[in-house]
Amino acid sequence: MNVEQLKSRFKGHYDFMVAEKFLDEQFSQLQQLQDESTPDFAFEVVSLFFEDCQKIFHDLDRALEQPMVDFKTVDNNVHTLKGSSSSIGAARVTHVCIAFRSFCDEHNLEGCLRSMQELKRETALVKNQFEILFKLEQQLLAAGGSITLPVKPSPQSNDHPWFM
Amino acid sequence: MGSQGRRCSDRLCCFSLSMNENTIPRGRRRMFHKEVKEEEFSYANTNCLSSYYSVFVARLAIMVMLAILIGMLTVLTWHFTKSYTTKSINTLAYGLRYELLQRPILRMWNILNSTVEITQAQVKLSEFVIRQYDSPVMQAAHLECYEVMRNVTWALFASRRALNAITIRYKNGVVQAFHRDHRSNYTFYIYSELVNSSVLSDQGWGQQHHNSAVWYRESLDPITGETRGNPKPIPPDDLINIAGISEVPDGAASWHVKVSKFTDSPSLSAALPVKDSPNGSIVAVVGVTTALYSVGQLMKELVEFHSGYMYLTTQEGYVIATSTNAPLLRNLSSGPKLMAAVDSEDRIIRLGAKWLEKACGNHSSLKHETHAENVRLGHQKYYIDSFFLNLKRLPLVGVIIIPRKYVMGKVDQRALTTLVILISASICILIIGCVCILILTSGVSKEMKLRAELISHLDARRRAEASSNYKSQFLANMSHELRTPMAAVIGLLDILICDDCLSNEQYATVTQIRKCSTALLRLLNNILDISKVSIFGKFKSGKRRCFLKVESGKLVLEKAEFDLGRELEGLVDMFSVQCINHNVEIVLDLSDDMPKLVLGDSARVVQIFANLISNSLKFTSSGHIILRGWCERFNTTTYSEKLPLDQKDSQSLPRTKSKQQENNSKRTLKKENKIIIWFEVEDTGCGIDPSKWEAVFESFEQADPSTTRTHGGTGLGLCIVRTLVNKMGGEIKVVEKDGPGTLMQLSLVFNTPGDGAGQNEEKEFTKHSLMVALSADLVLLALNGRMSRSIMSQWLRKGGVCTREVSEWNELTQILQDVFPESKSGVEIETNGVLRNEVLYSQNLVTSNFVIIVDIGLLDLSTSIWKEQLKFLDKYHGKAKFAWVLNHDTCNAVKMELRKNGHLLMVNKPLYKAKLVQILDAVVKERNLVLQRKGVNASRTSTVERDLHESLEIDPFHYDAVSSDDSDASDGRSLHLNGSAVVGERRMKNSATRCNGLNNGLVELSRTVGLTGKSLNPENQYRKTAVNNGNLLHHSDGGKISALSESRCGSSVISQHQRVNNDLMDPNHIDTNRLVSRQKSLEGLCILLAEDTPVLQRVATIMLEKMGAMVVVVGDGQQAVEALKCPLDAECRKRALYPEDGEVMSHMQIQEFPAFHLILMDCQMPRMDGYEATKAIRKLEEGTGFHIPIVALTAHAMSSDEAKCLEVGMDAYLTKPIDCKLMMSTILSLTKGVV
């Protein structure tokens, strides 16, 4: 495969991820931060995120198994996860986290458990997607191509901060 | 009973169930909350009723139970105490009765026995005596025999004192008898004298009886038996019953109960025959009579002691002996007879006998013993027992009647008292128990009532909370749902804008759409913000004020850099279409001293003016709306310098000065680069009644309520405006105005970013250079709108540019003809483009410049006259520079025609200063180009010029396209264009030399002389300038040139991250550009990052490092405080910082105090969260005078969190995900004093 094909595949996959809301513009910011001095930055951060996820999931599972669920702990964990996921741009995970937290506020155990499942599913999904993306990226780099940042000047960030 | 009990327990079950229902399964119910909401509501009502009911039932049930229990206890106690005693006493009593009765019977038996013995003895003796004297022939022997018999009999009689009588009757009828009267204590001997001598003859007993016998009675001495008197003859058998032969016909003994008239008690008599030999004939009959008196005596004694009654009857029922004194005999005419028991004179005995008779039925059954208890005789109860003494000849029945009282009296009494006591005690207990139950259950029921109430309240509260939650959720969702498609629209438009193959018209349209979309998005955001806002009035110091209260906290204003002028121009552009449709002229009049960039919340500012303008527009049907703005400076250092300029600039605005004096008191604030900007929104609408000037700012108020019908609206607009204005530190009011309409004046306080002095000069320069360039020119403003025309001309005149105003076509032609009298010749020359150009150039050399700005509205577009008019203007094309002001709806044909005719300068309405400057810029530039080209190469001109025109034509649209954030694009461009001026060239050199000596950053100035537009290499257009504070040194340098360099440098500082890029099409360029500019922006800053999540640590670190900052990462708040402590501590100052955990330290340098310029603090961290850490840090800083800026990092997206952050002492607030740009601008704004 030549560079162009790889490039288009990479871009195609990225677009797919964005379209499916796996990613949002935050990831492109991460990509931008990647340069010669930190070539694997995005990969590193995403890996960090998934490691973090494992730990948080473990904590969450344990917290939710308790006979008396401490919703504050759960909430804190989910909050952390929300921060991390939004930082790497995993929008769907972030979204689930938001729902999860609202359940925590209501002390709705059933909802929490449901959210927990959803969270795991979404994380697994996005992990797969990321793996594909990074594989493509590596192939592309190996083939001698460079990652053109598939960044559009995101209109929303121009006008309003989204999370205000 | 059983069924009742079951029902009871059922009720109790229900009751306990209902209680459980009430208290326990709250959590479970919550799950079904949504489904059963309605039911729950009604359930709450029935709940109360059922609980009352169940309480009632429970009370009743408990009481009944108690009653039953106590009743049973009572009965059992009574029963056991009574029955056992009764039984044992009964047994005892039976024994007693038996014993009692046995004794008289025994006595009776004794009597009988003794009687029999006596009789037997007498018989034996008689036999013996008679056998001895058995010589029947001898009379003497008979007499002797009688004598012996008398003595023997006396001996027997005397030995037995209990005997009543002993009689012997011989076969021959001779009778010998002894009789004893117990009452008179007399003893008699009774005998009969025989008439015939045949004493012992065998004659029949009956014939000889009484025939001739004479009876005698002798009184005897009872002890000796001596005869004391003479025998007296008595009638036979008068005194005693003499046993006769008839009584013993079969030779067996016979028994009789006899009654004699001499005794009042019956007596017992026995008779036995005396036989001459065994189995011989009977020779005599012996009879013994015993009184039964002693039996009665015994009975009396017994009864006396034991009470009760006794009597003894024969089998036939005749009473033999009784314990009473009742007579036993009754005197009949035939002599005394025994009395039957049923006829007894004693009442009890009579009744008892009757009862016995009734109970036993007949006499024969008397043989059975009866034992009866509780027989009621008369008024009392008795025990009746009868015993049967079965003697062969004389069966006897003994009856004892003992009153129950005697045996059981005490027991009965005790039992009764016990019963009474038990009953009364149990009744007492029952009553007390019931009362207790009542009290207890009333407590319980009260508690239950309260609990039910509490539960219903909780339910209500939860429902309310849920609904408010839903509301918030809904809002959040809505905002997301609405914004997402808008974002998509805008994004797509951006793509479309980037497309190369758009025609200019299409491009313009798309740009317009883009702009409107942005506005719509902004509007959406505002609406959503406002919908979150509840407005309420509050009295404060007598003045009513409105507050905006965001549901989850305070309304927090953003603090970001933005171009105020640009925002307002965009706003006016946006409203212009509407205004033109309303036939209202909208004018923007901003004074030149307005700062270019300010720090504030652009969205809110735009919201304010959008509200005000739309409000004005609503009430203005004709005329104009003017938005004026001017600046009032706080900065005292520049104040004196600025004053003359201000005065000069704001001739039309004399208020400024007075305001300045007014604001002297606010000088304290002026240190911090604050400026007050005043605005006026004036319209020529219906106006507001002065009495309502204050009221219109209140919520839901409109000056005239009827306007709601005609104009619509909620009346919230002005209230929101005022709240926002107050929030921004300004005020708004309605002021007096000449003529109809409303004039609103408001002030807003902004911070100026960085070096606030710079931009103004730049603008000044732009203007001045223009003015200088145009000083020889005449600008003809041929505009429809009176206000904008006059304002523009005033402004130009002030700048030293000659202007003339025309308002209609005829006037224009007039002036044109006046100015160009030789035009006719010019027309003839113009045959082709090239020629024309030649002419133009030649003319340019000669004549002064003439710029004509024509409103398209001057042309008569309704008919085809406009083409003629254009042709007319064409004549002057070479002599004057035309710029066209188009309407938004100017049709393409007109534009095409204009372009065809070489009119390439076009702007859209409304015309404001920026656009005017742009037009004039273009004119000047073109002229410079021409001037320059004149000496270079004439042959290239046409093509280059074509290019130039192209670019100029596009300019306005580009200009429109840029939003506030990339506002500097056009700014850079305009500067760039300016650069082509001669003056600009000088300036470049100057600033380059000066800056190079001072700047440590990269100063790259573009060489733009002679090269413009697209022909330039875009790279050359960037200015990556990091300017240090040294630039300020130039400040005091007077003169144009130094001011120039200063202004340029200043603008570079502020617009570090801006895109100085003319070419919007290439996003890569933008990004690289952005990156490049970003790279240096945080140079020299040392930032402490407190963040626990590794992902965020990494991201933030890289981001900051890319921007040139040094980053120290700590894992939690505790470490952050520790890390800060060291440098704060003077001794530790020189020491290098190494956080305990050995966290990443990128480039830690020992720095001058303070070591860190800024802290990025995650709010939620283990061990010590961001809030606590901030508090701790602020506490550490107390007294030191230092204040390290702390920026909160949080994933919370609510503004309440921001309020919380700020409350604990943080300076700014960033949300996750971190927006690079936002973070940078925040950091810069907080650290500008340091770099």
Of A83, A151, A161, nearest to B1222 by CB-CB distance is A161
Q: Token pair for residue B335?
A: 């002599």
Does A84 sit within 8 Å of B1096, measured CB to CB? yes
Question: Phi, psi at residue B473, to the nearest 5°?
Answer: -60, -45
The torsion defined by the Cα of B1209, B1215, B1216 and B1218, in degrees rounded to 10, comes to -100
| Cis, peptide link before residue B910, omega less than 30° from 0 | yes
Does B1106 sit within 8 Å of A160, measured CB to CB? no
Spatial contact of B257 and B267, defined as CB atoms under 8 Å apart: yes
Residue located via tokens 């309260």: B450
Min distance A164 CA to chain B CA atoms (Å): 6
Does B966 sit within 8 Å of A48, measured CB to CB? no
CA-wise closest residue to B925 among B1007, B843, B980, B849: B980
Does B30 sit within 8 Å of A108, measured CB to CB? yes
Residue B767: predicted pLDDT: 62
pLDDT of residue B989 exceeding 70: no
The mean-pLDDT minimum among B275-279, B301-305, B447-451, B1167-1171 falls in B275-279
Domains in chain B (CATH in brackets) are: 99-194+212-404 (no CATH), 560-633+672-751 (3.30.565.10), 768-819+847-932 (3.40.50.2300), 1086-1127+1153-1231 (3.40.50.2300)
Residue B963: predicted pLDDT: 36
**DSSP secondary structure letter of residue B245:** G
HSE-CB of B42 using CA atoms within 13 angstroms: 3
Residue B459: predicted pLDDT: 92
What is the per-residue pLDDT across B264-291, written as a single tens digit (0 to 9) for each? 677 777 888 887 766 677 778 888 888 7
Residue B326: predicted pLDDT: 75
Does A52 sit within 8 Å of B1093, measured CB to CB? yes
Residue B139: predicted pLDDT: 67
Q: Is A67 on the interface with B (CB under 8 A)?
A: no
Q: Token pair for residue B829?
A: 């020359």
Does B1106 sit within 8 Å of A87, measured CB to CB? no
> Which range in B85-94, B185-194, B1021-1030 is most confidently predicted, on average pLDDT?
B85-94
Instruction: Report the amino acid identity of residue B457.
Output: H
Of B490, B521, B1071, nearest to A32 by CB-CB distance is B1071
The mean-pLDDT minimum among B151-160, B475-484, B1208-1217 falls in B475-484
Of B493, B1095, B1219, nearest to A49 by CB-CB distance is B1095
Spatial contact of A104 and A75, defined as CB atoms under 8 Å apart: yes
Q: Token pair for residue B332?
A: 């009949």
Cα separation, B303 vs B326, whole angstroms: 14
Sign, CA dihedral B401-B406-B407-B412, equals positive
Spatial contact of B323 and B311, defined as CB atoms under 8 Å apart: yes
Cα separation, B608 vs B447, whole angstroms: 56
For chain A, give every domain's residue range. 3-143
Question: Phi, psi at residue B974, to the nearest 5°?
Answer: -65, -40
Mean pLDDT, chain B, rounded, equals: 68
Residue B118: predicted pLDDT: 83
Sign, CA dihedral B730-B734-B735-B737, equals positive
Of B483, B1067, B1194, nearest to A153 by CB-CB distance is B1067
Pairs of residues, one from chain A and one from chain B, whose beta carbons lie less than 8 Å apart: 125
Q: In this prediction, does ipTM exceed 0.90?
A: no
Residue B994: predicted pLDDT: 41
Chain B residues in contact with A26 (beta carbon < 8 A): 1217
What is the per-residue pLDDT across B619-672, written as a single tens digit (0 to 9) for each? 888 888 899 988 876 544 333 333 333 333 443 444 444 444 444 444 445 556
In sequence order, which residues have a C-beta less than 8 Å from that of residue B15 and are 6 or more positions away? Answer: B54, B55, B57, B58
What is the per-residue pLDDT across B312-355, written as a single tens digit (0 to 9) for each? 888 777 888 888 877 777 776 666 677 777 777 788 888 888 88
> Which range in A113-122, B23-32, B781-790, B1119-1128 is most confidently predicted, on average pLDDT?
A113-122
Domain A3-143 belongs in CATH node 1.10.357.10: no
Which residue of B lies nearest to A46 if distances are taken between CA atoms? B1095
**Three-state secondary structure string covering B196-216:** CCCCCCCCCCCCCCCCCCEEE
Portion of chain B with pLDDT greater than 90, in percent: 1
The mean-pLDDT minimum among B615-629, B757-771, B921-935, B1051-1065 falls in B1051-1065
Diameter of chain A measured on Cα atoms: 58
Of the pLDDT bands very low, low, confident and very high (cuts 50, 70, 90), residue B457 is very high
Portion of chain B with pLDDT greater than 70, in percent: 62
Spatial contact of B753 and B599, defined as CB atoms under 8 Å apart: yes
Mean pLDDT, residues B681-701: 78
Min distance B29 CA to chain A CA atoms (Å): 11
Q: Is A142 on the interface with B (CB under 8 A)?
A: no
> Which range in A65-79, B553-567, B700-714 is most confidently predicted, on average pLDDT?
A65-79
Spatial contact of B1230 and B1211, defined as CB atoms under 8 Å apart: yes
Residue B335: predicted pLDDT: 65
Chain A residues in contact with B1197 (beta carbon < 8 A): 163-164
Which residue of A lies nearest to B1213 if distances are taken between CA atoms? A164
Q: Token pair for residue A158?
A: 């121009």
Q: Is A47 on the interface with B (CB under 8 A)?
A: no
Q: Hey, what long-range contacts does B690-693 have (CB within 8 A, 24 or more apart)? A: B693/B733, B693/B734
Mean pLDDT, residues B782-804: 83
Cα separation, B725 vs B679, whole angstroms: 11
Give the burial string for B536-569 (b: 16+ CB within 10 Å, else e): eeeeeeeeeebbbbbeeebbbbbbbbbbbbbbbb
pLDDT of residue B520 exceeding 60: yes
Tell which of B33, B1095, B1223 to mutate to test the A interface (max A CBs under 10 Å): B1095
pLDDT of residue B1176 exceeding 70: yes
Tell which of B1099, B1104, B1160 to mutate to test the A interface (max A CBs under 10 Å): B1099
> Which range in B477-491, B523-537, B778-792 is most confidently predicted, on average pLDDT?
B778-792
Does B522 sit within 8 Å of A152, measured CB to CB? no
Sign, CA dihedral B29-B33-B36-B39, equals positive
Of the pLDDT bands very low, low, confident and very high (cuts 50, 70, 90), residue B609 is confident
> Which range in A57-66, B320-329, B394-403, B850-859 is most confidently predicted, on average pLDDT?
A57-66
pLDDT of residue B527 exceeding 80: no
Beta-strand pair B1190-1194/B905-908: unpaired
B762 or A109, which is more confident? Answer: A109
pLDDT of residue B824 exceeding 70: no
Of A83, A110, A156, nearest to B1096 by CB-CB distance is A83
In sequence order, which residues have a C-beta less than 8 Å from that of residue B640 and are 6 or more positions away? Answer: none
Residue B34: predicted pLDDT: 44
pLDDT of residue B1142 exceeding 70: no
Question: Phi, psi at residue B211, to the nearest 5°?
Answer: -60, -60
What is the per-residue pLDDT across B355-381, written as a single tens digit (0 to 9) for each? 887 877 655 555 677 788 778 887 888
CA-wise closest residue to B108 among B360, B355, B298, B328: B298
Of A26, A48, A108, nearest to B1217 by CB-CB distance is A26
Spatial contact of B176 and B153, defined as CB atoms under 8 Å apart: yes
Spatial contact of B907 and B915, defined as CB atoms under 8 Å apart: yes
* Strand partners of residue B544: B539
Cα separation, B48 vs B58, whole angstroms: 15
Of A33, A154, A159, nearest to B522 by CB-CB distance is A159
Does A156 sit within 8 Å of B490, measured CB to CB? yes
Angstrom CA distances, B226 to B230, B231, B338, stand at: 11, 12, 35
The mean-pLDDT minimum among B130-144, B1032-1046, B1211-1225 falls in B1032-1046
Residue B181: predicted pLDDT: 75
Residue B456: predicted pLDDT: 92
Cα separation, B308 vs B292, whole angstroms: 20
Cα separation, B802 vs B323, whole angstroms: 169
Does A84 sit within 8 Å of B494, measured CB to CB? no
Residue B1105: predicted pLDDT: 80
Q: Is A138 on the interface with B (CB under 8 A)?
A: no
What is the per-residue pLDDT across B952-966, written as a single tens digit (0 to 9) for each? 333 333 333 333 333
pLDDT of residue B1030 exceeding 60: no
